[in-house]
Amino acid sequence: MRGPHNIIRLIRTGATFERTGAMDVVLDAYDAPASLRFVARLLGKPFQWLGYKGDPLMPPAPRALTALGPAYIKFGQVLSTRPDLVGNDLAVQLRVLQDRLPPFSTAEARATVERELGAPIDTMFSEFSEAIAAASIAQVHHARLADTGEEVAVKILRPGIERAFRRDIDAFYFAARVVDLFAPGARRLRPMEVIEHFDGVVRGELDLRLESAAASEFAANTKDDAGFVLPPIKWNLSGRRVMTLGWADGLSLGDNAALDAAGHDRAELGARVLRLFLLHALRDGFFHSDMHQGNLKVAANGDLIAYDFGIMGHIDEYTRRVYAEILFGFIRRDYQRVAEVHFEAGYVPADRDVDEFARALRAVGEPIFGMNASHISMGRLLTYLFEVTERFGMETRTELILLQRTMVVVEGVARSLDPNINIWEVARPVVEDYIKGSIGPKALLHDLKRTALVMARFGPRLPGLVQNALVAQATPPVPPRRFPWALVALTGLCGVLLGAGAVALADKVF
């Protein structure tokens, strides 16, 4: 599917960007090199008549992406939360792509529900509204359960969306190869891996059973988090193309006037959004990575309600520790330690000078910390850090794409609620608590316990493993009758005893 026939799709894409005026906007935002500008013009200018016209009332970039279809819209949504990559102006333009698309017919939605759930819709829902929100992949209807009268939200995939995405993503892969070929300077951004990441995110969103499972796991992780609730999943009324969940009744987090009228403390809400995101990312390694105002509400009692779990981020424990140390180093203005963490994690090539890198990081951090609290920005820090790490040969960390972009989004949400929020002061206690629990003595004992459990599980295999290792290293081969079985048995016994002792010690500590 990723052959040269995608040239036609790229030509139409370039033509649409030319016709809508988005080409210059995008090329300037990426500071594209001359070679890439030449290829873009070659694919767009002569074929401008083939491009889609789009909605002339929209800004150029959203106008082009909306005209090109759902995969382009979703890609624009992802880029709208990455001002570190596309610049603030383009990021602001792309935000209009969130949940403002024409819906498909209610008749088609009802038919999809019946096909997916295998029953007449009237036996499941006593009420079923017109679409109340429509995005690039799915739309949502308000409904009421026929048996209990409970209000629910029903999310339904767009008809034919899987095929449309597969076709467009194939073209994205082809475009990434073109960028690799004609813009060597952009290879550091690892365009193929970025598209692979985007492909994985979309695949997850195209199976609502996976979104339901993600919501369920997220709810289990956060059940004890004060002031944060999730609508429950109705598993008996959910499937691959349909997801039913409890109705989230509250005020939009983007409606400041309504929040003020209801008496909510916007400053506290902004700080809570940021704290919860960091807590979920660092404590659980599993976080909501589409936390814009459209996916957050405030209940009458002040609880934050999150929904739309199609994009969830996951980072492993080691990466969480590295990320926390980097954040903590900036908070403490310990730039030498931040530099060392980058080298220890392999983020910066080992042949670079760590002291020079630390000085470059100081040039990033000090101007930010010298600002007024209302101007301190994680987004600005990420932008500057991106520029510095580029000079030192650091490649894009694809495993951190969702974490980085979500942090920028969450900061924007928090600052929209409280323009004077001090991002670092809010983040400090969360990061410090994680550092204490993940890097100190308690964390060491926890790691020893996990290691001991693994050793105990493989205890019966230790004699064979030791034998194979000794036989492989022996020259000439050791005759079987001379093999030191006593040594093997003693080694295995010591391993089991060490594992059992470490488990017992860790159990006392924990």
pLDDT in tens, 368-406: 766 665 666 666 666 666 667 767 777 656 556 567 667
Sign of the dihedral defined by the CA atoms of residues 327, 331, 333, 337, in that order = negative
Rounded-to-integer distance, Cα 85 and Cα 91, Å: 9
Please count the other Cβ atoms lying within 10 Å of the Cβ belonging to residue 230: 23
Question: What amino acid occupies position 463?
Answer: P
Instruction: Indicate if the pLDDT at residue 502 is higher than 50.
Output: no
> CA torsion, points 191, 197, 198, 199, in degrees to nearest 10?
110
Q: Taking residues 220-236, what's their average pLDDT?
A: 94
Instruction: Indicate if the pLDDT at residue 417 is higher than 80.
Output: yes
% the chain with pLDDT above 70: 73
pLDDT of residue 487: 47
Q: Which token pair is 145?
A: 């359960």
pLDDT band at 144 (very low <50, low <70, confident <90, very high): very high
pTM of this structure: 0.71
Among 13-22, 181-190, 211-220, where is mean pLDDT lowest?
181-190
pLDDT of residue 107: 95
Greater confidence, 492 or 262? 262
Q: Residue ranges of the domains in the chain?
A: 6-98+162-203, 249-439, 442-509
Beta strands in 110-232 (DSSP E): 125-134, 138-145, 151-157, 228-229
Instruction: Indicate if the pLDDT at residue 142 is higher than 50.
Output: yes
Residue with tokens 């894009």: 396
pLDDT per position as a tens digit, 69-79: 878 887 787 66
Q: Which token pair is 400?
A: 């951190």
- DSSP string of 394-439, one letter each residue: PPP-GGGHHHHHHHHHHHHHHHHH-TT--HHHHHHHHHHHHHHHHH
Spatial CA neighbour of 375 closest among 329, 419, 427: 419
Mean pLDDT of the chain: 79
Q: Which residues pair with 138 in a beta bridge?
A: 157
Greater confidence, 42 or 224? 224
Helices (H), 183-311: 191-205, 208-222, 256-261, 266-279
pLDDT band at 172 (very low <50, low <70, confident <90, very high): confident
Greater confidence, 243 or 478? 243
Strands 251-252 and 125-134: unpaired
Q: Which token pair is 60?
A: 């150029």
pLDDT per position as a tens digit, 6-29: 777 777 888 888 888 778 777 776
* Helix or strand run (H / E) with residue 382: helix 378-391
54 in helix, strand or coil? coil
Among 280-289, 341-350, 445-454, where is mean pLDDT lowest?
445-454
Rounded-to-integer distance, Cα 309 and Cα 92, Å: 23
Please count the other Cβ atoms lying within 10 Å of the Cβ belonging to residue 54: 21
Catalytically annotated residue among 290, 303, 316, 447:
290
pLDDT band at 153 (very low <50, low <70, confident <90, very high): very high
% the chain with pLDDT above 90: 25
Instruction: Indicate if the pLDDT at residue 439 is higher than 50.
Output: yes
Q: Taking residues 292-314, what's their average pLDDT?
A: 88
Q: Which token pair is 219?
A: 């709810």
Greater confidence, 214 or 331? 214
Rounded-to-integer distance, Cα 135 and Cα 155, Å: 11
For the chain, the C-alpha Rg in angstroms (whole number) is 27
Rounded-to-integer distance, Cα 12 and Cα 46, Å: 11
Greater confidence, 35 or 107? 107
Q: Which residues pair with 133 in a beta bridge?
A: 140
pLDDT of residue 441: 64
290 noted as active-site residue: yes
Question: What amino acid occupies position 456?
Answer: A
pLDDT of residue 505: 43
pLDDT of residue 125: 97
